[in-house]
Amino acid sequence: MTLWWAIAAVCLGCYALKLAGLAAPRQVLDHPAVRRFAELVPVALLSALIAVQTFTADGALAFDLARTAGLVAAVVALVLRAPFLVVLIAAAATTGVVRLFLG
Amino acid sequence: MERTTYRSAAIRDGLGVGLAVGLSGVAFGAAAITAGLSVPQACVLSLLAFTGASQFALTGAVGAGGDLVAAASGALLLGGRNTLYGLRLADLLGVRGPRRLVVAHGVIDETTAVALAQPSPESSRTGFVTTFATLYVTWNITTLAGALGTSALGDPGMLGLDVVGPATFLAILWPRLAGSGELRLLAAAGAGIALLATPFLPPGVPVLLSAFAVLVVMAR
């Protein structure tokens, strides 16, 4: 039940955030600091998510060879300019195969 | 003539992006079930939150056994960029009244990217609507498929589905990192802060803490 509350909060909050931008007074965006913050925040948060989801487990730093190999495969696919879906499939397939053979 | 060309180009862009990204809803459905959400919970998030990074962030933190308040805060902080997209799109789309309530739900990374890439306001609107409609339908169908499929599979770790979340974020970030040394520095700092904080703070909080890296970069 508690998880449902978190989901409800995220659904309502995300919608409110989207609407706030469309409905806000225009001059807010003209502030250079706001523009800059908008550009930078997702980069920091998404990088943090990549690091945490790849290199931690149960609240501690953890090296998982299969997951790391999958992320490396994603990097290779991105360097080769592969389409979005190909990047995801390459990552999942690599992690799956490495885990199958190395446990 | 030119106007028609612009519009059909916008429709093509919208369909392409909407289908490609929409299909990765399979990854979200899988990630949600892996994290311990139920199939209805995964579907409600895709229907009502409808912003991929926030959805992945919530399920990722829940999967890590995180505090739910921190998990939801992280998801909302990521959702904050849609506010900034909305500010940018308000002029371009020129929507007023009740229609704004519907359009608002579609203000996300992909619709903004397609709308801003078009050469005229009219084709921007076409691009936005096409991307929104295609992505919304695809994302929700594939979320359901991914969630049901993963529930049936048992151990999603065997298929390597646990790497799909991080790989998705990396693919979203990649074009921006490739173009800017400053953003690469920021990304490294954000990742470093989160990893260093992980042993000491409840799950979800280290990701929020990484936002401090932004202040450091902005203060330079």
Question: How far are the Cα atoms of A82, A86, A89, B215 from residue B160, in angstroms, in the given order?
Answer: 19, 14, 9, 35
Mean pLDDT of B14-39: 87
What is the least distance, in Å, from the CA of B4 to any CA of chain A?
A: 27
B interface test, pick of A1, A45, A97 with most B CB neighbours within 10 Å? A45
- Each residue of B177-206: pLDDT tens digit? 988 899 999 999 999 999 999 999 877 778
Q: How many domains does chain A have?
A: 1
Domain interval for residue B13: 2-160
Closest CB to A14: pick one of B54, B64, B199: B54
Chain mean pLDDT for chain A: 88
Neighbours of B96 (CB within 10 A): 8
Our count of domains for chain B comes to 1
The answer as to whether B216 is a domain residue is no
The residue among A74 and B167 whose pLDDT is bigger is A74
Length of chain A: 103
Which among B24, B84, B107 is the nearest to A85, CB-wise? B24
Confidence of residue B2 (pLDDT cuts 50, 70, 90): low
Q: Is the dihedral of CA B43, B48, B53, B57 positive or negative?
A: negative
Does residue B144 have a pLDDT over 90? yes
pLDDT of A80 over the 60 cut: yes
Residues of B within 8 A of A34 (CB-CB) are 84, 87
Chain A positions in Cβ-Cβ contact with residue B77 (cut-off 8 Å): 41, 45
Whether residues A51 and B195 touch (CB distance < 8 A) is answered with yes
Q: Which residue of B has its CA nearest to A83?
A: B20
Q: Is B33 on the interface with A (CB under 8 A)?
A: no
pLDDT digits (tens, 9 = 90+) for B206-217: 888 888 899 888
In a domain, B212, yes or no: no
Q: In chain A, which residue's Cα lies nearest the Cα of B48?
A: A11
Q: What is the pLDDT of residues A16-46, one digit of tens each?
A: 999 998 888 767 767 888 778 877 887 888 8
Residue B178 lies inside a defined structural domain of this protein = no
- Answer whether residue B34 is part of any domain: yes
Q: Is A1 helix (H, G, I), strand (E, B) or coil?
A: coil
Q: Which residue of A has its CA nearest to B185?
A: A44
**Would you say residue A17 lies in a domain?**
no
| Domain carrying residue A81 | 64-103
Q: Which of B19, B21, B39, B59 is nearest to B161 (CA)?
A: B59
Query: Would B218 be classed as within a structural domain?
Result: no
**ipTM of the predicted structure?**
0.84
Among the ranges given (A60-74, B17-31, B39-53), the one the predictor scored with the smallest mean pLDDT: B17-31
Coil vs helix vs strand at A60: strand
- Residue B220, domain member (yes or no): no
Residue A46 covered by a domain: no
